[in-house]
Each structure stands twice: as C-alpha cells, then as structure tokens.
Amino acid sequence: MREKYTTTKHLCVLPVALGSFIVIVLVLYSGCVSLTNAYVSDKVLTDGWYEDIANRDSGTQFLGFERWVSSTYTTNDTEYPAFLTVMTMKTLVVMDNEELQGKIRDIINVTIPQTISINDSTKQTGGRYILRAHQTMYTVYDGVDIQANISKNVKIIGEAWNCQTSGTSIVCIGVAYITNMVENTSVEQTTNWKKIVMDDIGSVERYTGTTGLIANVICH
C-alpha cells in the first residue's frame, strides 16, 4: 500500500510541475520575440508622399508570442487622396498562402474608411516579384465612397508575402481615390494609384515604373 500511495502522489505532482515549467517558458519567451518592421524605402517617398507618423501602431497577442506593427504612408493631394498601410506580423507558425489571403481581406475590412463600399465583382488577383525577389500575391478591387451622397470612385489593393529572412509576414493595403474629392466631376486621375501599385514590368494593371511604393517595401 505504501508503494502505491507514493506512486500516486508523484503522478499528481507531475502535471503541476509540468504546467509551472510551461508557464515559465511562456513568460520568458514572450519577452524575447523580436520583430523587423517592414517599411517603404525613403528613395521612393516622392511626389508628395510621406509617412504619417501619427498613425504608427503595434500590438501583441497570444501571451506576446505574436506581434505586429504597422506604418501608414499618405499623400498631400487633397483632391485625389490616397494612403498605403504596411503591416508586419510575426506569428508562431509562418502563414501559408490561404491564411495570407484571409489576412488581406480582414485587414482591408478594418483599414479602409467605413464610407467605402467594395465591389466584389471587380476583384482581380495575381502575383509578382518585388524588391529583393519576394514573391507576393495581390487582390485588387474597385470601390465607391458614398460619403456626402456624392459617389467617388476608389481603387483598393491588398498584397501580402512571407519574408523568410526576417521570419515575418507582410500585408500592404493601398487605397486611392481616382475621382476628385473636391470637385463634382467624373474625370478619373490615377497618378496616386499608379504610385502605389506600379513596378518595372507593369504587373498590376500595366502600371509601369521603378518608384512604386509596394514594390519598394523593405522587409529585411
């Protein structure tokens, strides 16, 4: 009976000791998760584009095991406003393509103004190579801002990729008004949209140029 009692006691103590060990590891590790913040190269922040420092943001979840940071870039063009948000995420397990596509949609839903209605029937998807040979996937939508009962046409892009070097996932959300927000006109102007999406081979809607914002995001 004595031997049985001793064995049972040890078995009861084992889960408690193991649980305590796991908690200690979680606490220690959660403070050690480093994150390399992706950003748009200063060389291409031209034509009135700049980082809106007031909109920098960051956060953690899952006991600090997962972290994210975001930076937002905008233009001083009040007639055709536009912005690009670059979010960097570090997760326990690197996201696969399906998860990245889900993140694109999730972040679009919380990033774009509530007045913008997305037309899902205009959805276009594709992939390309950007700075430092990262392979991305993107989704492009048309939208309408119905604010003040005056419809304004908007272009939206969500683009994502994994950076193996930094161990992070990057999601970029770009929004550009292509009709005038000040004057009541239907004339379209795509200068800021082109600035967001263009690359050297015109992968997105054939907009070609070497100073595109997303194409020049540095993530490692």
Instruction: Tell me the whole-structure pTM to 2 decimals.
Output: 0.83
Contact 73, 49 (CB under 8 A): yes
Rounded Cα–Cα distance for residues 101 and 92 (Å): 18
Contact 84, 192 (CB under 8 A): no
At a CB cut-off of 8 Å and minimum separation 6, what does 116 contact? 143, 144, 145, 154, 156, 175
Residue 93 Rama label (left phi>0; alpha psi -120 to 50; beta): beta
**pLDDT tens track of the chain, all 220 residues?**
444 433 344 434 444 444 444 444 344 344 445 788 899 999 999 999 999 999 999 888 766 668 999 999 999 999 999 999 999 999 888 888 889 889 899 888 888 888 899 999 999 999 999 988 899 999 999 999 988 677 899 999 999 999 999 899 999 999 999 999 888 888 899 999 999 999 999 999 999 999 999 999 999 8
